[in-house]
Amino acid sequence: MHGYTDSVDVPLHLPAHLVQLAPSSKASSSSKAKGKEVAPPQSTQATVYSVTEAWTPEERAEMRRKVDMAALLGYSTLLLTLNIPATCDPSVLSFPTPLFPDLDPRTAPPGTQGLVLQLWRVTVDQYGDDAVKGAGQKGWYGFANSTAPLYPPHTTLLAVAPTSLTSFTHVALSLSPPSAFSPTLVTLDPSLSPRLPFPLKRGLISSLSRAGVAFELVLRGVTRLDAPGDAPGDAGRRRRNWIAGAREVVRATEGRGVVLSSGATRAGEMRAPEDLINLCSLIGLPPSQAKDALTVNPQRAILRGLSLRQTYRGVLSNPTLLTHPATPTSAASVLAAPHIAPASASASASASASAGGGGGGGGGARKRPAEEAVGAGAGAGATAAEGAAPAGAGAGVAGGKKGKKKRRE
C-alpha cells in the first residue's frame, strides 16, 4: 500500500425501515420520567442489505468509471465511502470485497495493468448532539462498546462528521482513545457554509493528534458543477467557503494530520494528485505537507483503522511464530530429564574443579601466571585481614570489660 490515496462516495439506497428516526433526547427523558420507554419499531424485513444489488446499471457503470479514473490519475488506493446516519444499524450492510476483482491487485490476474487497491470505509454522517446523548441506546448506533461488533468485518476504517461543538468535543475526548469503535478520520466539508460548524480549540486538536486521528477535507464542493436546482453563482460561493474553512483547519493543525479526498460521486469530479497539491497552495499548505496529505497521512489512517479493528486497542499486532535452532544434545537432555540435567552439569563442573585441585597438589602442577599469583596473594591477605579484624575487635571489647570490673572493685 504505497502511493497516492483517494476516497469516493458510494451510492447507498437505504430502505425506510433501516433509517428510522430514533426518539430525541427530550422525548426519551420525558418517557423515563413517566416510567415508559419508547422502543424503536421492529422490522420484519430482511436483516441483510446488499449495497451493490440496489444499484442501477448506470450507477454500477459510474462506479467502475471512478475506479478506472483513479488508476488513470495515478492513485494506488481507493477508499469506497458508505455514508450512513447514526440511526442506521451497520450490521445489516453487506458489500463485496473487493468491489471489482479484475481491477484489484489482490485478485486480478498477473500482468494486469491499471490496478487499484479497493477498500471500504464507513462514515457516520450528521453526528450531532442527539447522537452523542443517545449513543448505545435503542434506536441509536454510532460509536459505543455495544455497537463496535456491528460494523461489517471488511470495514477498513471508521470516520465521523460532527456537526456541533458538543459532538466534536465528544469525539476528541471520548472516542479518540484506541478501541474497536474509535473513528480514524474527522470528516469536514468546508464548502457547505462560510464558517466551520464548530471552533477548532487547541486542546481538542492536541487530543486528536496524540490519538492519531486525522482531519479529512472533502473537495467535492470545489470540483462539482452546479446542480439543476442550484442558484446562479453557487459554485463560486462553495469554492470561497472551502478555501476559508480549509485555511482554518490548516492553521489550527499546523498542516499536520490533514487528509485530502475528492469525495466524488461522479468520475468527472476527481482530480489528479498534482492538481490537488497545487490547490493546497491557496490554503497555506506547503507542497511537502500537501503530498503527505495524499500519501503518508491516509496510509497511517488505514493502518490505524486496521489495527484497531483487528487487534485489541491497536496495541497487539498479529502474532508471528519465531523459531530458533537449538543444540540437539542439550535439547534432548532437557526433554528427557529436565530435573537431572542441571545436577549432572554441576557434578561435572565440581569434578573438573576437584581434578584441577588435585593436579595442583601433585608434582606435575602447572605454573600459574604472575598476575594469578599476585591476585591469589592479595585475596589471601584480604581474607587474613578480615579474620584478624573481628578478633582484634573482640579482644578490645574483652579488655574494656575487665577495666570496668577493676574500677568497680
For residue range 237-264, what is the model confidence (pLDDT) as tens digits?
999 999 999 999 999 999 999 999 999 9
What are the backbone angles phi and psi of residue 229, rounded to the nearest 5°?
-90, 0
- Tell which residue, 66, 78, 65, has the closest CA to residue 1: 78
For 358-379, the pLDDT digits (tens) are 444 444 445 444 444 444 444 4
Q: What confidence score (pLDDT) does residue 23 get? A: 52
Question: Does residue 63 have a pLDDT over 60?
Answer: yes
What's domain 4-17+25-310's architecture? Alpha-Beta Barrel (3.20)
Nearest-angstrom CA–CA distance, 62 and 81: 15
CA–CA distance, 376 with 373 (Å, rounded to integer): 5
* Type of residue numbered 161: A
Q: How does DSSP classify residue 16?
A: G
Tell me the average pLDDT across 277-302.
Answer: 94
pLDDT at position 320 is 52
Residue 153, CA distances (Å) to 55, 78, 158 in order: 22, 18, 12
Confidence of residue 37 (pLDDT cuts 50, 70, 90): very low
Average pLDDT over residues 280-300: 94
Residue found by looking up cell 602442577 in the block: 365
Q: What is the SS3 assignment for 199?
A: coil
197-224 average pLDDT score:
93
The answer to whether residue 29 scores a pLDDT higher than 50 is no
Containing 120, the helix (H) or strand (E) segment is strand 117-127
Q: What integer pLDDT is reported at residue 267 of this predicted model? A: 94
**Helices 234-253 & 202-211 angle (0-180, nearest 10):** 80
pTM (two decimals): 0.71
